[in-house]
Structures are given as C-alpha cells and as structure tokens.
Structure 1
Amino acid sequence: MEDCVRIVQEHYDSDVQYEWDRLERHPFEFAITTNMMDRYIKPGDRILDIGGGPGRYSIYYAQRGCDVTLVDLSSENVKFALEKAKELNVNIKAVSGDARKVSKFIQGEFDHIFVMGPMYHLLEENDRIKALNEAMSLLKNEGMIYVSFILMFAGMIFGMKNSPEMLLFESEEIFIDAVLKGNSYAGDAFTKAFFIDQKSIIPFMDKFHLEKKHIFGQEGILAPCELNFLNQDQAVIDKWLDIAMQLCEREELLSYSEHAMYIGQKIVIDI
C-alpha cells in the first residue's frame, strides 16, 4: 500500500497547475457540486477539506467567509494552495498528510468535512474505511460530510470522449471486464485509482453513523457530451446545466457522471 501512496503522491506533485486547471476544463463538476454543497454551508462554518488537491473548493469556501483547513497528500498541492489563496487575498490553513491518519495532526471539530480525493486512490477497502473513520472523528455531531467517488463508467466515458481505441488495448482488458461484470476496479489508471460500481456506494457509506441526505452525479448528465456542450453559446450551456442540476440525483442517470458525491449528516449517538 505504501508504494501505491508514493505513486499517487508523485503523480500529484509532478504537475499541480494541471490539477488546478482541471475544474476549468470540466466546469460542470464544480458548478453542480457547489450548488449542492451550498445548501448546507454558510459563512463562518468550519471546514476540513481532506484530499482537496491544490485547493479549488477550499478557496471557494474561504472566499465565502468559511474557516477552511486543507489537507492533501501532495506537499506541492499544499504549497500551491497557500500561494493561490494569498494571491486571491483569502486565508486558508493547509498541511500535507495522509487521510488515514488525519486526526494525528488536525485537532478540533468541524461543521463540514470534504473527502473528495481519498476514495479515488485508496485501493483497499480497509484503507477507505480508515480514512472515513478519521474524518468522522473530527466531524461534530450533526455535522455534514461530503464524500466523492470515481464511478466505474467514468473510464468508459473518458474512452468515448477522448480515446475510443482504448477498447483495443490489452492494458484495458481488466478494467473493461470489471465494467461488464458490474464490479468495482482498483489498480492502474491515470495513476493508482479506485473506480466504484455505483451500487456499492450506499452499502459502503452505511458502515458509518450517517443519515444520507443526497447522492448525486457531480457532472449530472453532461459528462459524455461535455466537449460538445463547452463549444455552445453560453445560453445553451446555462440551460443544459440547469437541467443537469435538476436531474443529478436521479439514480437511473448516475452513470452519466464520472464522479458521484454522497452527502450525509453525522448521527448523534446517545451514550
């Protein structure tokens, strides 16, 4: 597992600007995700952003008056986030660290915790459970947690948009076999990555003391034709985005997205 962690860390350390620009290349993800999160987050709230990369979401919520702490495996992501926050004249706290050990270097309780990276790269379920237990230990009672997953069909959507010939590659056979069998996949991708079968998200999240509020596709229905939409007039883009936001929680449409987010509220446990 530690070799996997090192590979993922080196991947993100190697080109932070590319990762920062990702949500400009894929703006629907950010628009739909923040639209859902904004329902719960208000100025003055305390946020812990675990695996938040170079800080897109951290800085967005700091600009809206939240007290934000970013944790990321990549020290280069953390450095970039602090520099970008300073450039934009907002304050965030940021530290490099492992999501499976976050309570060892972060103290206090948070109103909201984002886990929008660790579920992508922890290949073993036990490690994903560790990361979420760590997050839950820092979430206040009745606080909100936002957990993102890469969906299995994301790889197929990528192929249809960018690399149709991938179906002929021997290296893709294991992944394609998992898609056809309805399984999840953990292994080689853009780096070491975990792709979850969408039917597995709720059973996994039911392991934690949470009340489910939402599960939605972070790109809505737009991911397969994203490149076409981005070439349209703004009025067309806005209309499709509005429709996508209204449909993003439809279970039967979840596989149109590349990422899914679970939003849950921590249940108070009476002792």
Structure 2
Amino acid sequence: MDQEIRDFYARGFERERLRGGNGRLELLRTQEVVRRFLAPRSRVLDVGGATGVHAEWLAADGHDVLVVDPVPSHVEAAAALPGVSAVVGDARDLPDDGPFDVVLLLGPLYHLLERDDRVRAWREASRVLRPGGVVAGAVIGRLAALHDGLRKEFPLDTRYRALVEHSMATGEHLPPADTPWFTTAYFHRPEEAADEARAAGLDVVGTFGLEGAAWMLPNADLDALYDDPVRFEYLMWSLRETESEPSVLGASAHLIAVAAKP
C-alpha cells in the first residue's frame, strides 16, 4: 500500500465514516448484499478489513472471521474484536489458511490502480476459497468524484475539476497531497469488476449497486430517514429494487461484484 494511502487511513477516516450519513447507507447495503451469500457459521476471509468494521457484525452473526490487512494498527484493532482473528497481509498474496466459504474484498480493489493487480487479488481470493464458495468485491463507481462535487464544496478548489476529468477518463483518482479529498484510488465502470473476476477464472453471479442515487442526499436528510421507519423501509426497498438496473448502476458510489469459484 502506498504511504499516502496509509497516512490517509491513519487519520481514522474509516472508523467514523460508516456510522452516519451516506457512509451508514453503504454499510447497511453491504450487510444486505453479503448476507445473501452466507450460510450459517461460514468461514469468512475479510481481505483489507481494516479495523474490523465488517468483521465485527460478521462475527456477531456467528461466522468465523479472519481479517487480513496491510496496516499493523488495523490488524491490532480488528484482532481485539470478539470472535475475530487478524493478520498482516496483502490482497495479492494471501495466507494459506483456507479453504474459506466466503472471501470479502471490500477494501483492496479500489486501491490497486493496475488491472493486473486487481485480477491477481481476485485470483488469490479464488485460490483460498472452497469450490462453490463466493468472492464479494467492492469497488467505487467511476462517477463518484463527479457526484461528490455536487454534495460538497470541493469544486471551490479550482483543481477539483481536473481531478474529476482525469478520474472519469482513466479511472485514476489522484488527489493533490494538500487536499481533504479521498485518497489515491481506482474508480470502476459498472461492468469492470465483473470482467476482472472473470479474468481470474470465477463465475460472476452479479453486480449490485449499493446506494444508487440516494447517497447524494445531504447527510442530515439521510440521518433523518434512518429515524423514520416508514421512509427508511421505502429507501431500502427502492435500493433493492434497482440494485441491478443498468441505468442506475453508474450513479452508485459503491458497487459489489459477486463471483463463485467453479
């Protein structure tokens, strides 16, 4: 992992991001999608699992969870969670602790800028997976920076439009070091993650948009929705109804591609 990316996560960004606003929506929808592919008491490898934000609820659901992450402080925090084990490692060179029923790539794929590295991560996930098991890989949508500029004051910095134009054209999100913008990443087109999984020899089950266009609502409005049972149920229903709709996938900030090992 590049030092810039390590420094970004060392600021504790990820710990708080999923607790409210559109981050909470990403977490809730990730739980919905991943739980569909988990049998009771599955053995789960959470690659790039950071401090264990997903490992925590997976262990609480009764699954056996191993976190692999390149940042030692993340591993220490994840290992302290009840029912979670954690080791330092790289998505492109996983430990030989399989076979697993499910492998989660919920963090690594958008921090690997080269396609060969992303395919290698999918291939490594397949290697430690049991036959018939599934890999779920999360990616950031190609238009995420464009849409983030509609929600925030980022465009007031005259460099932001060039950043967006470059990410839209190439997928590479390369922010200047002196900005509060999301760190170095690769932003996928809706079909790309599935193509990379196929290149690794996996059978694609589907690609699911997590937040649709709802993530562009102000965080205060989303937090109010979470407290309103009727509107919250409608929000989640609407996202489930459109999660595979091609015309909507490109609007989602995050997508999950699910693929099975033959």
TM-score by length of 2: 0.88
Amino acid aligned to 1:117: G
For the structure 1 residues 187 and 126, does the alpha-carbon distance in structure 2 shift closer, same or farther, using more than 3 Å as the test?
A: farther
- From 62, 66, 71, the equivalent of 1:74 is 71
User: Helix, strand or coil for the counterpart of 1:130?
Assistant: helix
Following superposition of structure 1 onto structure 2, how do residues 106-117 of structure 1 map, counting pairs within 5 Å? 106-117=96-107
Following superposition of structure 1 onto structure 2, how do residues 1-271 of structure 1 map, counting pairs within 5 Å? 5-15=2-12, 18-25=13-20, 26-83=23-80, 85=81, 90-102=82-94, 105-163=95-153, 165-166=155-156, 169-179=158-168, 181=169, 183-188=170-175, 190-227=182-219, 228-232=221-225, 233-234=227-228, 235-267=230-262
For the structure 1 residues 177 and 13, does the alpha-carbon distance in structure 2 shift closer, same or farther, using more than 3 Å as the test?
A: closer
1:186-226, CA deviations, whole angstroms, 9 ceiling, x for partnerless residues? 53352221111224333222202222212111213311115
- Give the aligned length: 252
- Offset, 1:178: 4.3
Instruction: Give aligned-pair identity as a percent.
Output: 25
The unaligned stretches of length 5 or more in structure 2 are 176-180
- Offset, 1:165: 2.3
Q: Return the alpha-carbon distance in structure 2 between the equivalents of residues 111 and 12 of structure 1.
A: 28
Amino acid aligned to 1:94: A
1:145-185, CA deviations, whole angstroms, 9 ceiling, x for partnerless residues? 0001111111122111112525x622541432442x4x422
- Offset, 1:50: 0.2
Query: Given that residues 100 and 129 in structure 2 are in contact (C-alpha distance below 8 angstroms), is that contact kept between their aligned partners in structure 1?
Result: yes
Query: Given that residues 48 and 108 in structure 2 are in contact (C-alpha distance below 8 angstroms), is that contact kept between their aligned partners in structure 1?
Result: yes
- Offset, 1:117: 1.0
For the structure 1 residues 107 and 177, does the alpha-carbon distance in structure 2 shift closer, same or farther, using more than 3 Å as the test?
A: closer
Could you list the runs of 4 or more consecutive aligned residues of structure 1 that deviate by over 6 angstroms after TM superposition?
none
Query: Given that residues 157 and 223 in structure 1 are in contact (C-alpha distance below 8 angstroms), is that contact kept between their aligned partners in structure 2?
Result: no
1:79-104, CA deviations, whole angstroms, 9 ceiling, x for partnerless residues? 22223x1xxxx2111012221121xx
1:106-162, CA deviations, whole angstroms, 9 ceiling, x for partnerless residues? 422100000111111111122212222211110111101000111111112211111
Query: Given that residues 230 and 237 in structure 1 are in contact (C-alpha distance below 8 angstroms), is that contact kept between their aligned partners in structure 2?
Result: no
Q: Return the alpha-carbon distance in structure 1 between the equivalents of residues 75 and 198 of structure 2.
A: 31
User: Helix, strand or coil for the counterpart of 1:256?
Assistant: coil
For the structure 1 residues 119 and 259, does the alpha-carbon distance in structure 2 shift closer, same or farther, using more than 3 Å as the test?
A: same
- Offset, 1:254: 0.8
Q: Return the alpha-carbon distance in structure 2 between the equivalents of residues 244 and 14 of structure 1.
A: 31
1:51-107, CA deviations, whole angstroms, 9 ceiling, x for partnerless residues? 111111111111111110001111111122223x1xxxx2111012221121xx342
Q: Return the alpha-carbon distance in structure 2 between the equivalents of residues 194 and 147 of structure 1.
A: 13
Q: Return the alpha-carbon distance in structure 2 between the equivalents of residues 174 and 21 of structure 1.
A: 25
Query: Given that residues 144 and 252 in structure 2 are in contact (C-alpha distance below 8 angstroms), is that contact kept between their aligned partners in structure 1?
Result: yes
Q: Return the alpha-carbon distance in structure 2 between the equivalents of residues 76 and 159 of structure 1.
A: 31
For the structure 1 residues 76 and 202, does the alpha-carbon distance in structure 2 shift closer, same or farther, using more than 3 Å as the test?
A: same
TM-score by length of 1: 0.85
- Offset, 1:262: 0.2
1:12-37, CA deviations, whole angstroms, 9 ceiling, x for partnerless residues? 2332xx31222112211121221122
Instruction: Give me the CA root mean square deviation.
Output: 2.0
